[in-house]
Amino acid sequence: MRNKFLIYFSFLFSGIFFAGSASAVCPLCVFAVGAGLGLSRWLGVDDVISSMWIGALLYSLSMWTISYFEKKNWKFKFYRTASFLFYYVLTIAPLYYYEIIGHPYNKIFGIDKILFGTALGTAVFYLSYLLHLYLKKKNNGKSFFDYQKVVLPVFILIIVSLIIWKII
């Protein structure tokens, strides 16, 4: 169990060492989302809530990769789509293969809890990033507070997680 934990977090946080200085979604945000995911799984939180953090992490890693490709000028046809597919398939396929996704009693609204949570987390993270861009535009291209780019998505994910937790 300890080896699986070390391998998982080694891969999760290895991206920090390859971070560039300018990213669409910053490395600190990726770290915060990853830490939230690890904490929720460790605490035994429902799959919808923990997979929301998976979705947010996958979205942020995809955007981070796209930003890295653009910075290095490694643009190829469908590189954005390929980045998203790479992370989502690499995460969802093993969960499906080991029958973690698709269990008949692990559903919400008729959809697998992990798939539902991943989609919800992706949407929440994307919308909170758009909120950051909107607020920044309203403030003449400057953030209203330090680390706004990090705080908004993580704070909104926490709020939505709490709402889902209360509903479930």
Map out the domains of the chain as residue ranges: 49-167
Residue 51: which of 84, 100, 85 has the closest Cα? 100
Q: Which helix (H) or strand (E) is 107 found in, with range?
A: strand 107-108
Residues 14, 107: Cα–Cα separation, whole Å: 32
Joined together, the tokens standing for residue 34 give 């990853």
Q: What is the mean pLDDT of residues 86-114?
A: 84
- Res 62 pLDDT > 70: yes
Q: What is the pLDDT of residue 104?
A: 83
Q: What is the pLDDT of residue 85?
A: 92
Q: What is the mean pLDDT of residues 120-143?
A: 92
The structure tokens 């915060």 sit at 32
- Single pTM value for the model: 0.72
- Res 127 pLDDT > 70: yes
Label residue 159 by pLDDT band (50, 70, 90): very high
Joined together, the tokens standing for residue 132 give 């950051």
Contact 83, 69 (CB under 8 A): yes
